[in-house]
Amino acid sequence: MINNKLPLVDLHRHLDGNIRPQTILELGQKHGIALPGNDLDSLMPHVSAVGNQPSLVAFLEKLDWGVKVLVDEEAIYRVAYENIQDLQQDGIDYAELRFSPSYMGRFSHIAPEAVIDATVAGVQAGLKRFDCQAKLIGILSRSFGVEACQRELDAILSRQHAFVAVDLAGDELGFPGNLFEPHFKQVHKTDLNITVHAGEAAGAESIWHALERLGAQRIGHGVNAAADHKLMEYLATRQIPLESCLTSNLQTTTVSSLAQHPINDFVEAGMCITLNSDDPGVECTTLSKEYQLAHDEVGLTAAQLAQIQRNGVQAAFLSDGERQQLLESKLNN
Ligand code: ADE
Ligand code: ZN
């Protein structure tokens, strides 16, 4: 279902939601961390959301064991490096990997600046070794509140050349976007782009807020735009990209089935839809599987999926020169 003449791009992929279960097991054993399972079979239910979760917050808890084993910079480096290897294994040409430095340092109390440095080092080593490209997005984890996000933003801005954008993720219902207007005002003073998780757990008003008050250039998920036709029209007219993640939306119970997912309506409305993986490790998915699902379960055609691949290139936080290079790298294949 993937068109090999077009780049395969993943714009919404959490590095800290893609820690291999085998790595969790090995790091846990190495550092004497008591895990809820001593082998892969017994660990899997605790680190994966297969079987679906009753809410976004319950889903997010599945990421915690991956972060609990990040006891030092070496562990962070390893996980970042393996994330790049996973991109190559999935045939991804370009990805924007996002991570929350404060969340990754939450259990070890490693400072967010040190988390960023270790992550960047692991990513750079991976990019030297594996055949793919990646850029980084810094996340503000809204679940930990306004002040924690300010600390996290300070760390991201102290390393801003390592990033192409800032994102707001976590508990959208418990911590609505209006709490974070001061943070994004600060981001506006930089060259960093903005993408915001919105319209996933909360309604269309959260997407309007992300666009109008936080300055979002792309929307993470945006599923609940389906309830607001004016918003769909606004997104289509301006070609504001939605970062859609099918399996994630099912596992967080944002949609009750893939047949109910509004992505078909979005595509029909001419919106700029991209397909992404979100937390592939926790979801036990790959981007290739997401394309397959979009075809088999949602009914998108090969032509529509090719357009989605083109949209991914168009929506990437790349310079025009980088975008052109990415496109040409596949044409010459
Ligand atoms: N962090 C990781 N996955 C997320 C999601 N689907 N929504 C909000 N925050 C997240
Ligand atoms: Zn996400």
311: left (phi over 0), alpha (psi -120 to 50) or beta: alpha
Sign of CA dihedral 27, 29, 31, 33: positive
Cα 89 to Cα 169: distance, rounded to the nearest angstrom: 26
Query: Best mutation site among 10, 278, 283, 290 for ligand 1, i.e. most ligand atoms within 8 A of its Cβ?
Result: 278
Contact call for residues 213 and 244 (beta carbons, < 8 A): no
User: Is residue 4 in a domain?
Assistant: no
Note whether residue 3 is domain-resident: no
Is 1 among the domain residues?
no
* Residue 320 alpha carbon to ligand 2 centre in Å: 25
Structure tokens at 214: 């936080």
248 lines ligand 1 (CB under 6 A): yes
Looking at residue 14, its amino acid is: H
C-alpha of residue 330 to centroid of ligand 1, in Å: 31
Q: What is the pTM of this model?
A: 0.98
pLDDT for 138 equals: 99
pLDDT tens digits for 42-94?
999 999 998 899 999 999 999 999 999 999 999 999 999 999 999 999 999 99
How does the average pLDDT of the chain come out, rounded?
Answer: 98
- Euclidean distance between CA atoms 72 and 180, whole angstroms: 30
Atom of ligand 1 nearest to the CA of 139: 1
- Check: CB of residue 232 under 8 Å from CB of residue 226: yes
Q: Is 34 helix (H, G, I), strand (E, B) or coil?
A: coil
Angstrom distance (rounded) from CA 314 to CA 25: 38
Going by the DSSP 8-state scheme, the letter that residue 53 receives in this structure is -
Single out the catalytic residue among 152, 200, 243, 283: 200
Assess whether 147 carries a catalytic annotation.
no
- Which ligand has the minimum distance to the alpha carbon of residue 251? 1
289 assigned to some structural domain: yes
What pLDDT is attached to residue 203? 98
CA-CA-CA-CA torsion sign (9, 112, 282, 194) = negative
* pLDDT score, position 333: 72
- Summarised one tens digit per residue, pLDDT across range 284-309 is 999 999 999 999 999 999 999 999 99
Residue 50, pLDDT score = 81
Q: Classify residue 284: in a domain, yes or no.
A: yes
Q: Which residues pair with 167 in a beta bridge?
A: 139, 195
Is the CB of residue 200 below 6 angstroms from any atom belonging to ligand 1? yes
**Strand duo 133-141 + 9-14: pairing:** unpaired
2 part of a folded domain: no
The 3-class secondary structure across 193-262, one letter per residue, is EEEEEECCCCCHHHHHHHHHCCCCCEEEECHHHHHCHHHHHHHHHHCCCEEECHHHHHHCCCCCCHHHCC
Q: What is the pLDDT along the chain (333 residues), one digit of tens a residue?
A: 899 999 999 999 999 999 999 999 999 999 999 999 999 999 999 999 988 999 999 999 999 999 999 999 999 999 999 999 999 999 999 999 999 999 999 999 999 999 999 999 999 999 999 999 999 999 999 999 999 999 999 999 999 999 999 999 999 999 999 999 999 999 999 999 999 999 999 999 999 999 999 999 999 999 999 999 999 999 999 999 999 999 999 999 999 999 999 999 999 999 999 999 999 999 999 999 999 999 999 999 999 999 999 999 999 999 999 999 999 999 877
Domain annotation covers residue 262: yes
* CATH assignment at residue 262: 3.20.20.140
- Enclosing domain of residue 31: 9-331
Residue 332: per-residue pLDDT: 72
98 Cβ inside 6 Å of ligand 1: no
User: 170 CB less than 6 Å from ligand 1?
Assistant: yes
**Cα of 333 to ligand 2 centre, how many Å?**
31
Judge if the beta carbon of residue 279 lies within 6 A of ligand 1: yes
Phi–psi pair at 69, nearest 5 degrees: -90, 0
Instruction: Please count the structural domains in the chain.
Output: 1
In a domain, 16, yes or no: yes
Question: What separation in Å is there between the alpha carbon of 17 and the centre of ligand 2?
Answer: 9
